[in-house]
Chain A
Amino acid sequence: MKLSTLVTSIVAFAVMAAPAAAATSKTLDLVKKRGNLRCQVGTPSGGFYNLDADGNWYGLDVAVCQAVAAAIFGDKGKMEVQSVSSQARFTALANGESDLLCRTATWTMSRDTQLGLDFTGVNFYDGQGFTVLKETGITSALQLKGAKVCVTSGTTSELNLTDFSRENNLNIDIVTFEDWNVRDDTYLKGGCDAVTGDKSSMAANIVSFPVPANHLILPETISKEPLGPAVRHGDNQWADIVRWSLFAMINAEELGVTSANVDDMRANSKSVPIRRMLGVEGNLNEGIGLSKDWAYNIIKQVGNYGEIYEKYIGSGKGALGIKRKGTLNELWSNGGLMYSPPMR
């Protein structure tokens, strides 16, 4: 029997059997009593949640966890990162092991409505794409007729690829792999004509290839993959905290507040939206039960959305190098989808 099938069936049973009990009590009180936030990620994934050589977690999703910890405790370090395999991810949230999940999980209707969890926002808009060798002369995914395409098994990528091939009568020959390192090795050795996966991970892979300039990500995006944090269903206050922690980062970018200038802004800014967000005036904090400086702590300690994007995903030193300009991850005011409802 295939390991993944076995594991999935156990976990599916576990999810169904999971009492929603853990959700009924207030997660915020539990977290405060415990003194740290338990934030779930997966096994390391480039740019989103990685371990460095000293054993520290970093990445875009980890930054969201840090933001929530900063909002609650005023200290981004009061957070424990839990690494859970993808088969057990929703169970670990349902049974109360994790307070929050932020691990490149795609927000889909079935997950949002059937698994006892609530997605609270999107911190990265991804989509499935293809990587090919430039020398093949392929410039569009529609030219992949009869091509061999490598994909990791058990992912939605495999499903999307099948659909795409059927819709366009491409007759694609699908080669599946358990491990993406092996998949990429096969591609590099000429075992397949193209690799498919989320575009962010395609970009990460290309960075890791011996000669990145030889490879090309095709323009087509064949699926929608909005990735974001999720919490247990039923605790609305907790969902609000996670939702607005992310919104605060997006809003801060829009308002031009960064970790560098936030102190100055708090002391001197005349702008009412900024003063409200940073807790100088108004009482926005009362609704979610946090201290007045919750948003200030997030921006001061973690940064605004643009900062964390550049640091881990964008063109910052050692980041993945995925350009933000022209993608869905730009602010709405620059033509992207990153949009926070007003904080007032």
Chain B
Amino acid sequence: MAIIKPTKRSTIAPPLSETSPVGWMKKHLFSSTLNTLLTFVTLFLIYITVKGLWVWGIADAVWVADSRRECFDISMDGACWAGVIAWLDSIFYGRYPRDELWRINLGILLLFVWMAPLWLPRVKAKIYIGLTTVFLYPFLSGYLFSGGDKGIFMQLMLTAAIVCLAGNTIHATIGVFTGHSLPEFLPRLFGIKDVQEKTLHNMFFTLIAVSFVAVFMWQMGWGVEKIPWTKWGGLFLTLVISGVGIASALPGGIILALGRRSKMPVVRVLSTSFIELFRSVPLITVLFMATTMFPLFLPEGFVLNKLVQVIIAVCLFNACYLAEVVRGGLQTIPKGQFEGAHTVGLGYWQTMSFIIMPQALKHMIPNIVGNFISLLKDTTLVSIIGLFDVLGMLRSISKDLPWLGLHREPLIFGAILFFLICFVMSKYSRHLEAKLSTEHKN
């Protein structure tokens, strides 16, 4: 019987052929005659592609010109980026009045300010911050973007949004420096120790109420000029449509998926038929129905906002697709999890929100983000029904008299824009997966 002695051998560095660049190349690129040949062919293909793009897009390109004719006069074979540069404002903001662009920029900046605490490690109550982003931020940005007279509802929501934004920001700042939440920090500010929970709540709500009234008084005298939605366009419009679509599709999808798995027949049948109806029709059909057929059934002279119709159509359509993704995720959860939750006495909603969904959603991230990316790209279809989203704007360049026929450069620019946005989304989803994964690393 052999006795195995656990002796520790000294570690040896891997052979040089494995680690040196030349060794790596020899192994991976030139291991056989065929591979060597393939390597050279590929290198040649890369060379001619990159060189062609370089010469056309950069070396021979024209960056400053007043018209396409001038571009041709300067360089016959190069790209004419001057046209894209002249149209940059339109590509990003559409027909939005140029003096009011700050409103869009501010709106986008505020979104980042609002959401920044979500990524800061020491901040508490992130769920509330996330919820207010979905439910209150749209009122703030919606008013900034469209302006005009505020109804009483809009005034209240706008006030709530501003108070909430201020509260969020202060809360996050306190969180980063002290690790406390805003309510916890209040007594320290006044130098009071050992306060009761009730007093704490009262202080907090008094503060909120006082600032609510103050902001409400202030906003009554404040307003911005009305910009009709027909002036919205460009990348801004694409982001508005897909942003609202993304924010509403997931909750909608979860509800529909739960409805489809429900034991109540009416709910189940309704959800199933809703999902199947929308999934079996192309998006463009839904858009056309929403914008051309729907007004026929409305009373005469009553014209619905086309943008709202489009957004509703996009939301419903994507909620149905996400519902199926969510249902797929739910089915990966073993029955034992449901039974375990019942055993410890959790009801349906508690089981779903504390046990099932957190596990299921984690599995669904790649699919959900995949859907969001395709949603973003699908929104370019609205250019067919006469909204000037980023694609509509890019295509208009080739018809503008100074830039007549300039269509390649704008489309390439659009491709780069979309790539950047989608790549960031995709990278972020990988990051989320890594962050949320607790086990099953593979």
Contact = CB atoms under 8 A, between A and B. Distances in A.
Contacts of A43: 383, 386, 392, 395-396, 399
B292 A91 contact: yes
Contact of A95 (B76, B288, B295): B295
Nearest to A58: B401
Interface in B221-235: 228, 230-231, 233
Nearest to B96: A55
B209 interface: no
Given A51-B396, A53-B87, A207-B404, A10 B292 contact: yes
B68 interface: yes
Contacts of B396: 43-44, 50-51
Contacts of A52: 400
Interface in A1-56: 3, 6-7, 10-11, 14, 17-19, 21-22, 25, 30, 43-47, 50-56
B292 A14 contact: yes
A239 B388 CA distance: 29
A54 B398 CA distance: 15
Contacts of A85: 384-386
Nearest to B77: A210
A332 interface: no
Contacts of B228: 80
Nearest to A98: B303
Contacts of B303: 96-97
Contact of A210 (B72, B301, B400): B72
B244 interface: no
A21 B400 CA distance: 37
Given A85-B386, A96-B301, A208-B405, A11 B292 contact: yes
Given A97-B295, A181-B398, A181-B407, A83 B386 contact: yes
Given A10-B289, A83-B386, A85-B384, A181 B98 contact: no
A153 interface: no
Interface size class of A (residues with CB under 8 A): 35 or more
B121 interface: no
A80 B227 CA distance: 13
Contact of A51 (B86, B95, B288, B300): B95
B52 interface: no
Given A51-B90, A210-B72, A88 B288 contact: yes
A45 B405 CA distance: 11
B291 interface: yes
Interface in B282-311: 282, 284-285, 288-289, 291-293, 295-296, 300-301, 303
A285 interface: no
Contacts of B395: 43-44
A318 interface: yes
A88 B401 contact: no
A248 B2 CA distance: 113
A319 B301 contact: no
B405 A209 contact: yes
A11 B285 CA distance: 10
A55 B231 CA distance: 8
B70 interface: no
Contacts of A6: 282, 284-285
Given A95-B296, A207-B404, A53 B86 contact: yes
Interface in A43-100: 43-47, 50-56, 80, 82-85, 88, 91-92, 95-97
B402 interface: yes
Most buried by B among A11, A22, A55: A55
Most buried by A among B68, B284, B396, B404: B404
Contacts of B400: 44, 50-53
B33 to A, nearest CB: 38
A288 to B, nearest CB: 21
Interface residues of B, number: 47
Contacts of B94: 55
A223 interface: no
B324 interface: no
Contacts of A88: 288, 291-292, 385-386
B89 interface: yes
A285 to B, nearest CB: 26
A25 B296 contact: no
A160 to B, nearest CB: 23
A158 interface: no
Contacts of A22: 300-301
B399 A19 contact: no
Contacts of B90: 51, 53-55
Contacts of A95: 292, 295-296
A80 B291 CA distance: 18
A22 B402 CA distance: 39
Contact of B388 (A3, A83, A205, A208): A83
B401 A25 contact: no
Given A55-B95, A82-B386, A210 B76 contact: yes
A184 B398 CA distance: 12
Interface in B367-403: 383-386, 388, 392-393, 395-396, 398-402
B205 to A, nearest CB: 45
Nearest to B98: A54
A242 interface: no
A46 B399 contact: yes
Nearest to B284: A3
Interface in A284-329: 312, 318-320
Contact of B404 (A46, A83, A96): A46
Contacts of B398: 181
Contacts of B393: 51
B306 to A, nearest CB: 8
A218 interface: no
B405 A21 contact: no
A10 B286 CA distance: 11
Contacts of A19: 296
B80 to A, nearest CB: 11
A337 interface: no
Given A55-B94, A82-B386, A92 B285 contact: no
A53 B300 contact: no
Most buried by A among B94, B282, B284, B385: B385
A80 B406 CA distance: 27
Given A10-B293, A21-B300, A181-B407, 11 more contacts: A7-B284, A14-B293, A43-B392, A47-B401, A50-B401, A52-B400, A55-B94, A88-B288, A181-B398, A208-B405, A319-B401
16 contacts: A6-B284, A14-B293, A21-B300, A22-B300, A43-B399, A46-B401, A51-B90, A51-B393, A84-B386, A88-B291, A96-B303, A181-B407, A184-B405, A207-B404, A208-B68, A208-B406
Interface of A: 3, 6-7, 10-11, 14, 17-19, 21-22, 25, 30, 43-47, 50-56, 80, 82-85, 88, 91-92, 95-97, 181, 184, 204-205, 207-210, 312, 318-320
* A-B complex: 9 closest residue pairs judged by Cβ atoms: A208-B405, A55-B95, A44-B399, A181-B407, A208-B404, A83-B386, A44-B396, A51-B396, A84-B386
